[in-house]
């Protein structure tokens, strides 16, 4: 058991003009999670502390926050992994704070919904399952793991500037269907990705990949979507699908130029 010095950024819009820091001393075991520390504060020191959590086991994605400057799930960070006895907790950046550590996820989910995160297939229903080879399934396996915690999107500098960028999480979830051999909405999704606030806003900072509690290779997925736009085709486990056809309209051709910081922007 040791004493942790915990600094939490607090904000109650009914009482405060702006956020402020409050300090707490908490006894913690090395095997405690940051979530345990926060709940100890809430239950024994200050019941007004507001935070969001549900499963407490890294599954639901509802307790993402900034822990010592890095986005993480509070239920996945153990006290013994902290580098000092001081713990700094803030809400995720760039989303409106509702209270204390709770942010308004609506802009995040609006971006998620905009990429059509569901299977599109207008083919006549088959009499059996829509079959897929193991290689075709493996093509998008990594991006099926997303739990929509927003740790990636709110760690992304282009998203911090006005929240116009669709964000890495939305691209991950577009990737999950763009590279699914059963899907017929690839052309529409690629058009959404090709928007001026779409996939080309990525600056390859890799903050998203480092923040993801599911270990998804987010920057790789973003680059694969960019390549699908540039080539007009997707490759899935040995299967090449040309983007075109009834629903799969070819993405608008790009005439962009490489920018000095490594990004490529479409000419709007
Ligand atoms: S890609 Fe990872 S960090 Fe981003 S929302 Fe999904 S699980 Fe969270
Ligand atoms: S509480 Fe569900 S992921 Fe942490």
DSSP 146-175: -----TTGGG-HHHHTTT-S--HHHHHHHH
Mean pLDDT of 135-148: 98
- Of 39, 57, 146, best ligand 2 pocket probe by most atoms within 8 Å of the beta carbon: 57
CA-53 nearest atom, ligand 2: 1
* Alpha-carbon span 220 to 22, nearest angstrom: 39
Ramachandran quadrant class, 169 (left: phi over 0; alpha: psi -120 to 50; beta: rest):
alpha
CA of residue 126 relative to chain centroid, distance = 34
For 80-122, how does the pLDDT look when each residue is reduced to its tens digit (9 = 90+)?
999 899 999 999 999 999 999 999 999 999 999 999 999 999 9
Q: Per residue in 50-66, pLDDT tens?
A: 999 999 999 999 999 99
Query: What local confidence, expressed as pLDDT, does residue 243 receive?
Result: 60
- How far is 24 from 45, CA to CA, in rounded Å? 8
Shortest-distance atom of ligand 1 to CA 168: 4
- Kindly report the protein residue whose alpha carbon is nearest to atom 3 of ligand 2: 58
Q: How far apart are the CA of 149 and the centre of ligand 1, in A?
A: 5
Q: With the C-alpha atoms ordered 109, 212, 224, 197, is the resulting torsion angle positive or negative?
A: positive
Q: Rounded to the nearest whole angstrom, what is the distance from the C-alpha of residue 199 to the centroid of ligand 2?
A: 28
pLDDT digits (tens, 9 = 90+) for 207-256: 999 999 999 999 999 999 999 999 998 874 334 465 643 343 333 333 33
Strand partners for 71: 66
Which H or E element spans position 67? Answer: strand 64-67
The encoded tokens of residue 76 equal 């996945």
Ligand that lies nearest to the alpha carbon of residue 216, given by its number in the listed order: 1
Rounded distance from Cα 61 to ligand 2 centre (Å)? 5
Atom of ligand 1 nearest to the CA of 150: 5
b/e map 189-213, b = 16+ CB within 10 Å: bbbbbbbeebbbbbeeeebbbebbb
- With b for 16 or more beta-carbon neighbours within 10 A and e for fewer, the 75-88 pattern comes to bbbebeebeeeebe
Domains of the chain in start order, with CATH, are 2-103 (3.10.20.30), 106-265 (1.10.1060.10)
The protein residue with its alpha carbon nearest to ligand 1, atom 3, reads 212
pTM over 0.85: yes
pLDDT for 161: 87
pLDDT at 251: 35
- Give me the pLDDT at residue 162, please: 80
State the pLDDT at residue 242: 55
- Calculate how far, in angstroms, residue 211's C-alpha sits from the geometric centre of ligand 1: 8
Asked whether the predicted pLDDT for residue 154 surpasses 60, the reply is yes
Q: Is 30 helix (H, G, I), strand (E, B) or coil?
A: coil
Geometric angle at alpha carbon 74, from 79 and 23, rounded to 5°: 70
The whole-number average pLDDT for the span 143-170 is: 95
Measured from the alpha carbon of residue 147, the closest ligand is: 1
Provide residues with CB under 6 Å of ligand 2. Answer: 53-56, 58-63, 73, 75
The binding-site residues of ligand 1, defined as CB within 6 angstroms of any ligand atom, are 61, 146-152, 168-169, 172, 211-214, 216, 218
């Amino acid at each position: 058991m040791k004493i942790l010095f915990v600094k939490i950024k607090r904000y109650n819009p009914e009482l405060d003009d702006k956020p402020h820091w409050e300090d707490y001393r908490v006894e913690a075991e090395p095997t405690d999670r940051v979530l345990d520390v926060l709940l100890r504060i809430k239950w024994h020191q200050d019941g007004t502390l507001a935070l969001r959590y549900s499963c407490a086991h890294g599954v639901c994605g509802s307790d993402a926050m900034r822990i010592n400057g890095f986005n993480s799930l509070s239920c996945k960070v153990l006290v013994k992994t902290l580098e000092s006895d001081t713990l700094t907790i803030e809400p995720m950046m760039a989303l409106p704070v509702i209270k204390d550590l709770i942010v308004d996820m609506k802009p995040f989910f609006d971006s998620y919904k905009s990429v059509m995160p569901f299977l599109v297939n207008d083919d006549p229903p088959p009499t059996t399952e829509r079959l897929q080879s193991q290689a075709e399934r493996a093509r998008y396996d990594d991006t099926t793991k997303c739990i929509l915690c927003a740790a990636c999107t709110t760690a992304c500098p282009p998203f911090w500037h006005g929240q116009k960028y669709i964000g890495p999480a939305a691209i991950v979830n577009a990737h999950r269907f763009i590279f699914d051999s059963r899907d017929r909405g690839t052309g529409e999704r690629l058009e959404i990705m090709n928007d001026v606030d779409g996939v080309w806003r990525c600056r390859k900072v890799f903050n998203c990949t480092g923040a993801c509690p599911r270990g998804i290779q987010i920057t790789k997925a973003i680059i694969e979507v960019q390549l699908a736009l540039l080539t007009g085709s997707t490759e899935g486990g040995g299967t090449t699908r040309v983007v075109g056809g009834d629903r799969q309209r070819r993405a608008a051709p790009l005439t962009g130029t490489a920018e000095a910081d490594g990004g490529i922007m479409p000419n709007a």
